Structure 1
Amino acid sequence: MDDTAKYLIHASIAADGVVERSDVVGAVFGQTEGLLGDELDLRDLQQSSKVGRIDVQIDSENGQSFGRITIASSLDKVETAILAASLETIDRVGPCQASVEVTNIEDVREAKRRKVIDRAKELLAGSFDESVMDSSKILEEVRESVRIDDITEYRGLPAGPRVADADAVIVVEGRADVLTLLQYGVKNAVAVEGTNVPDTVADLTEERTVTAFLDGDRGGELILRELAQVGDVDYVVFAPEGQSVEDLERHEVMSALRDKTPYGELFDDEEPAPAVDGNDDTVESVPTAAASAATASTLETARSETEGTDGETDDAGATANADETADPDVDDDPPDSNGTVRDDPSTLRGHVRAVIESETGSARLLDDTFEIIETVPAADAFDAVSGTDPVPYAVVLDGELTQRLLDVAAQRGVEQFVARSSDEMVKTPVDVRVRTVDQLAAAD
């Protein structure tokens, strides 16, 4: 990127065929030439250093190409916007039909302003004499400095200094949580740094007494679910709903840790009162009295999702496959009296019948009440999942589910995916329930 650039134009490109970077660059120059007159001709702007090089990243899969275009601009806002809009007139790359969409125009100067502000804060903090502090402030500042400096790493993960040798450890989500606990004198915390629990933490849980201290949001639920799958959890603590561990005051942290709940007792005292709704793919139950009021709903959701993924229950050691038990996708959409399959069913199973069993060659995106958001050809499923608003709750695909399509579904927050078949997956995201039509039929 040119150091004099003021803006970065970001655009996405999709082509119905296999194209190379050079094809995209040629299309940008060729199809915008003469469009905006001599003053905004792209070649002339590059020669005068008012526009930087055209950076293209392109990937091809299943006979289609997808990528990103980035162009640095030193023009003013109006000229940059016009130049960006001209990119969307490109409708062909090489021999292939194509489309370009400008996703963002980034102000490079904003990053420089942020750097100036951060540096100014450093200078303000370190280059001026502060007024005389009283003894209590001096002591508190020194203590806090020591605690923050104590943060270290345990096999590459942010951790307190006692993790390596303590009999008990506290598993938190991120580095900021470790720092917060250090400030309050808790030195045996280790961070998983994301929803994918590292092998390091999984191995650690087998050797130590483990307390999971997690944020009161969906991310905390997902971490608990995966941690319970790959390791051993002894106790669980959630921050109040909607709050993070790093947001808590000292007395809140200490109170939460004192009142931690044994993992095995979270669900033992529940009243078995499942309620099945044909328009909902979740099973609701009464939260355990052992969970605190602030975290009961969060813990219940985590348990429901864990059992749905593992296919196991803890009652009397019984084990059962989740797909062989009562499926919440109630089949309340039978074919009409003349045998015709309804095209507007109200259940997931009904949509599977209408899309896959009817061999439509399409993909159907559904909301959380199983109303149709959009129906597209199966070949366009990736674009539909990645760009549809609102985010689909479920996707039914009359085709093969690929790793790339599953990844974008997980990134967008799709919760259910049913396909005719599935490619061999390197990794299946834990927050998407994936089934083929044969697996769904086997559950009947």
Structure 2
Amino acid sequence: MQNVDTTKYVIYADITAEGIVERPDVVGAIFGQTEGLLGSDLDLRDLQKTGRLGRIDVQITSSGGKSGGTISIPSSFDKVETAILAAALETIDRVGPCIARIAINRIEDVRASKRKYVIERAKRILVEMFDENILETEEITEEIKQSVRVEEIIHLGKDNLPAGPNVLDSDAILVVEGRADVLNLLKYGIKNAVAVGGTNVPPTIADLCAKKVVTAFTDGDRGGELIVKELLQVADIDYVARAPEGKSVEDMTQKEIVRALRQKIPVEQVLDQYKIKNQPRKRREITTKRKSLIRERPLCVRNATERAEAIAPRRIVPREVVPKVA
């Protein structure tokens, strides 16, 4: 019987016989034809009794009057003695009444197989168990930030649209597709984004767009293009920014977000591009004029005097003309 604690090698051999033979015939031939061949120290019967040699496993089938199969023998000897035993098997030329041939296929190092298993299993344990329970400092920090960002999200209107905390107070807002986009923008400190939640633009978005300078910031796919088209028809947006082709806003890095917003294009260009008839011209002119005042309003006004100076029209003072000296 194979001793799994001491087995070092397993001998694998192929057997062919010119006739029909069965497992007991093969085992008998192995013991009988190697007896006395290698001396008393390497007698297979004695080695199996002492546990130095494992159980001889034979798998054999017969077809068309011939037999063929495999033999495996576990060994706890070192390389040299195991090689001698393997060579002894190839001296067997008969099994029962049939001519037979045994050829060594390979000798497997059980310890190497175990080492390979240990390495692969250790990798899986490291990934599946340690990574789930042990967080690095950066991961702990990111997890806390993520929790804070989720708490910062508010919900607007009867449609309960996910939005950043500064949407209502900001003069300019970003309209994105979903909650994940709002979260990703919050990650980089952009708190004036609101999500439409799908291609069906809700009334809350239309009301917001009428009061603020709006940039539609959508994914770089077909869905993002459809949302832009619907916003152009039902809401008053001012600019359009798109994620890179095939990428979502929720997956963008800070640099990619900044680059995309810098490359936003005015809504007039987008209307021409999609050949969409937006609002009546008169209404559009009124809205554009109102929003232009929002864009031009000073960002930092400390007191009433500065506010008055900021919104007052500038007076043009002619420069004094100094005559040229001939």
Instruction: Bin the TM-score by the shorter chain.
Output: 0.3 to 0.5
> Structure 1 or 2: larger helix share?
2
Q: Which is greater in Rg?
A: 2
Q: Identify which of structures 1 and 2 has the higher relative contact order when contacts are C-alpha pairs closer than 8 Å and 6+ apart.
A: 2
